[in-house]
Structure 1
Amino acid sequence: MASTSSKCKSIALLVCDTPMPEVVAEHGEYPKIFHELMYKSLPDELGWDFKMDAYDVVHHMNYPSEDKIDRYDAFMYTGSAASAYADLDWIHRLIEFTAHLVKDHPKVRIFGICFGHQIVSLALGGTCVKNDGKWEIGPTNIRLTDIGKSVFEIDDKLTIQEMHQDHVPFVPQGFHLLASTDVSMNQGMVSTFGSDYHYTPTVESRYTSSPPSSSLDSSSPKSISLSDIHIITVQGHPEFTRPIISTMTAKRAKQGIITDALKEDVDRRQDALGGKLSGDGELVGRVLWKILGV
């Protein structure tokens, strides 16, 4: 796996959606939003730079050629309004590619964000389901496990912007849980290089209800070296800021997708953030850079 220079990292961004028009008008599409997150969380004083190549996996099912995959230091998956379990050709292709990436290009790191977290689960022994109509929206406090505290280098909880009602109901084989909430048990997961994954790239191979017995082993280390991390996922959106979430919640309340009461609760929690518009989003971005050795 090679970067273009010793002080430049290369990221492939798998673009899984286009934000609603109101968000695009103010903040741009996902390539711009994710570039902004990674740029803001990259420490100036270290002299690093990065290149981010965007691949439209929805409309064009566009992926890097096989010979280019190992040139990337990491593949990052964006969120999506689609359900990861939907019977759509582009989603099947993305899940298949994810399993291929992990199995046949094991040195390339994977960063899964929201929908990406769910796709990783579906490709590697887990599942994704609708969470009984329960939404998590806006700045949400997620409780870190011991390994989560080690990865994010904080003592208790992380505050992250969220926008989802689908969730991953268990931790697949080969992964360790990073965090939980009362609404969604799996708020993120991590694995190390050489983990024993259960590959489930086809619909027939996937679990739809309960996990295999091997995934029920609760023995996880207290800490983990960031340099050993192969895959890390979060259910939340470190790339989303208060203005983005506010635009989305206002439109979804107007459409009747969420209740006015939920929108008002989100607004109250946004006010409590003060100047931290993304919550701990930039902290998550900084951890991703540390995983890449920056």
Structure 2
Amino acid sequence: MGIVSEHKRRYALLLAARDSEYVKKVYGGYFNVFVAAFGEEVEERWDSYRVVDGEFPDMNELQDYDGFVVSGSPYDAYGDDNWILELCVLLQTLDSMQKKVLGICFGHQVLCRALGGRVGKSQSGWDIGLRKVEIIQNFSPCSFLESLTEIPPALSIIECHQDEVLEVPMGAEVIAFSDKTGVEMFTIGDHILGIQGHPEYSKDILNNLIDRLLNQDAIEIGLAEDVRSKLEIAEPDRKRWQEICKAFLKGSENQRQKYVLNTEEVMFS
């Protein structure tokens, strides 16, 4: 009979979007998409909070979490919906607690806004499809990136946004950019990381999203066809992006193995 550890790391996914019918049917919801991308099979617990519907973690339980992930969203990060304003307060609290927070797309933007930066519409319009992101090599080293070996100078990622970070918060450092977007990634210390693209997305999720945007007349058919033709011949660097996200949230693979070994020592001591 196995022994279940009581020392599991605990993470919270703050969902700023509702599940699409496609993602529900194929993946069982966005929660499963994120956990498959950033989670581990053992020694972890992931909780989901649908902040888009006003569901937030108890402020008295925030200290129990090792990290938080803020998802993308069809909403504007600079909007004044009640849940967005409440999310900003939560992110300010987590920053003051030095809790790890990873923001993806909308999450990247709302993190920026909450911590004093500026977000708005991109003057060059939608960015949809694969984008080559340049990793800045001479920034002040972040410990989570130092734990990774041979980070390429550029990585391809799936993008789907028409808003962007215009000005990072005071104390933030831009660590990646592209020919389309000036702030593809930013950090604050070792506890805040924003990524404009979608390391969790697969190409089928993006293709379904393109279908929905076309049905809403949000994008033109020419753009959709161009994106799809490029998607057929290229792949995002999903594995490398997910390594970066995992290293940020919980350290390198070696550090995670040490955590499991230390947990086993506690269990059997």
Flag as ranges the 4+ runs of structure 1 deviating above 6 A. none
1:93 maps to 86
1:254, distance to aligned residue in structure 2 (A)? 3.7
Are 1:247 and 2:213 an aligned pair? no
1:69, distance to aligned residue in structure 2 (A)? 0.8
1:139 maps to 130
Q: Distance in 2 between matches of 1:245 and 1:118?
A: 20
Q: Distance in 1 between matches of 2:223 and 2:171?
A: 36
Q: Distance in 1 between matches of 2:17 and 2:242?
A: 20
265 and 118 in structure 1: CA distance in 2 versus 1, 3 angstrom threshold: same
1:269, distance to aligned residue in structure 2 (A)? 2.2
Q: Distance in 2 between matches of 1:137 and 1:52?
A: 29
Quote the RMSD (CA, aligned, Å): 2.1
Q: Distance in 1 between matches of 2:78 and 2:162?
A: 13
**Do the aligned partners of 2:118 and 2:168 also contact (CA within 8 Å) in 1?**
no
Deviations 1:114-158 (A, max 9, x none): 111011101111011011361111221111111499736423111
Deviations 1:197-239 (A, max 9, x none): xxxxxxxxxxxxxxxxxxxxxxxxxxxxxxxx21111000111
Deviations 1:44-80 (A, max 9, x none): 7xxx532110011121x22222331111110110100
- Which amino acid in the other structure matches residue 122 of structure 2? N
Q: Distance in 2 between matches of 1:112 and 1:271?
A: 28
**Do the aligned partners of 2:23 and 2:30 also contact (CA within 8 Å) in 1?**
no
Where does structure 1 lack aligned partners over 5 or more consecutive residues?
A: 193-228
Q: Distance in 2 between matches of 1:119 and 1:251?
A: 23
Are 1:58 and 2:49 an aligned pair? no
1:272 maps to 233
Paired residue total? 241
2:183 maps to 186
Q: Distance in 1 between matches of 2:123 and 2:194?
A: 22
Q: Distance in 2 between matches of 1:281 and 1:96?
A: 31
22 and 149 in structure 1: CA distance in 2 versus 1, 3 angstrom threshold: farther
TM-score computed with the length of structure 2 as normaliser: 0.83
173 and 121 in structure 1: CA distance in 2 versus 1, 3 angstrom threshold: same
Alignment partner for residue 67 of structure 1, among 60, 84, 105?
A: 60
2:263 maps to none
Deviations 1:71-95 (A, max 9, x none): 1110110100000111210101101
2:15 maps to 15
Are 1:102 and 2:83 an aligned pair? no
**Do the aligned partners of 2:18 and 2:52 also contact (CA within 8 Å) in 1?**
no
1:11, distance to aligned residue in structure 2 (A)? 0.7
- Which amino acid in the other structure matches residue 180 of structure 1? F
Where does structure 2 lack aligned partners over 5 or more consecutive residues?
A: 257-269
Q: Distance in 2 between matches of 1:32 and 1:117?
A: 20
Q: Distance in 2 between matches of 1:160 and 1:246?
A: 14
**Do the aligned partners of 1:17 and 1:58 also contact (CA within 8 Å) in 2?**
yes
